Amino acid sequence: MAKAYVVGTCDTKGDELCYVKGLIEAAGIATVLVDLGTRSDFRGADVTPQEVASHHPNGAGAVLGVSDRGQAVAAMTEAFARFIPTRSDIGGMIGLGGSGGTALITPGMRALPIGTPKVMVSTVASSNVAPYVGPSDICMMYSVTDIAGINRISRVVLGNAAHALAGMMAHQVPRAAREKPAIGLTMFGVTTPCIRQLTQALEDAYDCLVFHATGTGGQSMEKLIDSGLLVAVLDITTTEVCDLLMGGMFSAGQDRLGAIARTSIPYVGSCGALDMVNFGAMDTVPALYANRELYVHNPQVTLMRTTPEENARMGRWIGAKLNLCNGPVRFLIPEGGVSMIDAPGQPFYDPEADAALFAALESTVKATPDRQLIRVPHHINDRAFAAAALSCFREVTG
């Protein structure tokens, strides 16, 4: 039977965890209390720190035998993330913590599948939660007061969180009348016309999941790929590679395209928005880029045009990643431009920079019958380019 896992450090949050556990059980949901305290002597947990710590690659001693508290917590974090896949009865999870507890619990939550209810009550939930949530669907709830006893505020906040998890677990989301296979598509504002054409052509046969290529968007798509929830990908907008290599704010990390290689999922990709690196407001652009071609997309986002040298670097990086993919791969080169503002008369039109990207891709990608690089003599947002992408998609999906 699916159970609600109530997680935290029982040596410092024991009363609060037991309060939440009791409310969830009163709602008719079975619970499992997991103690992650590295110095805990709490006796009421269903899963002890010793049991969790035993999942560390170097054994429990690497967690509980460490004198430095920071090292011990870091080791427990790794052990907890490895503990999660060993449990077959997790129907939902709720965690309570301050900054340390949130950093300890959320990596384990992220190891759960998308759709499994996850609620994290945290003192840091009113600030930047991206490092904790990542590409997952964790519900972050601000604790308002510190999680240090049951008082008139914490009683209500923790109670609401407990009832929220119980409600999510008790009431399953109705399934669609007709379940279509899901595919992933990546989009930026400057590649929106292309993605609209693709989704309109495919939405009758597929559940089209569009991911905004803002770093976490790419990570979220690849998490779904690793989870086996997507059957194919139209990765038209690979712009997150710009920000990874040039220090922009929308990097998806070094593992971008990693899930494609790991799963051999049918893949159609392209160079969407590789003409731009994303920064915040104009005053956030690093000093070393002060003399570069900059474009104010909106008051919060400033774009920087990539140079021929940077494009060559991206072409080599993407090409090396594609060479690791053994599934059916088609990567399309849009010779007419890679974004809405990379076109004649537009601010980022630079055929020399695009040519450097295309040449680096062609010199790096090792072509095979399954892995093909295809030049398309059109702009990425042209109907003819979308038609070429659709043709390749139907080819790789058989």
Superfamily of domain 182-396: Uncharacterised protein family UPF0261, NC domain (3.40.50.12030)
Q: 3-state class of 120 per DSSP?
A: strand
**pLDDT value of position 316:** 98
pLDDT classification of 215: cutoffs 50, 70, 90: very high
Residue range(s) in the chain whose domain bears CATH number 3.40.50.12030? 182-396
The token pair at 307 is 């140079």
Q: Considering the entire predicted model, what is its pTM?
A: 0.80
pLDDT reading at 1 higher than 90: no
Integer Cα distance of 303 and 339 in angstroms: 12
Beta strands 207-212; 232-235: pairing state: unpaired
Mean pLDDT of 5-24: 96
What is the DSSP track for 196-233? Answer: HHHHHHHTTTSEEEEEE-SSHHHHHHHHHHHTT--SEE
Mean pLDDT of 216-238: 95
CA dihedral (35, 40, 46, 47) positive or negative:
positive
For the ranges 24-28, 280-284, 368-372, which has the lowest average pLDDT? Answer: 280-284
The token pair at 327 is 């599934």
**pLDDT value of position 65:** 86
CA dihedral (245, 247, 253, 257) positive or negative:
negative
pLDDT top residue among 129 and 175? 129
Q: Are 31 and 1 in contact (CB under 8 A)?
A: no
Per-residue model confidence as pLDDT tens digits over 164-206: 999 999 998 888 777 899 999 999 999 999 999 999 999 999 9
Would you tell me which CATH number, out of the four given (3.40.50.12020, 3.30.2350.10, 1.20.1560.10, 3.90.550.10), belongs to the domain 3-170? 3.40.50.12020
Per-residue model confidence as pLDDT tens digits over 252-281: 999 999 999 999 999 999 999 999 999 999
CA angle 379, 249, 315 (to 5 degrees): 45
pLDDT reading at 95 higher than 90: yes
Mean pLDDT of 327-336: 98
pLDDT classification of 41: cutoffs 50, 70, 90: confident
Residue range(s) in the chain whose domain bears CATH number 3.40.50.12020? 3-170
In DSSP terms, 367 is beta-bridged to: none
The token pair at 336 is 């007419």
Integer Cα distance of 223 and 139 in angstroms: 17
pLDDT reading at 357 higher than 90: yes
**pLDDT value of position 156:** 97
**pLDDT value of position 239:** 98
Q: What is the mean pLDDT of the chain?
A: 96
Distance of CA 3 to the CA centre of its chain: 26
Question: What phi and psi, each to the nearest 5 degrees, are found at residue 350?
Answer: -155, 85
Helix axes 351-364, 308-322, angle to 10 degrees: 30
pLDDT reading at 348 higher than 90: yes
CA dihedral 149, 154, 157, 159 (to 10 degrees): 60
pLDDT classification of 338: cutoffs 50, 70, 90: very high
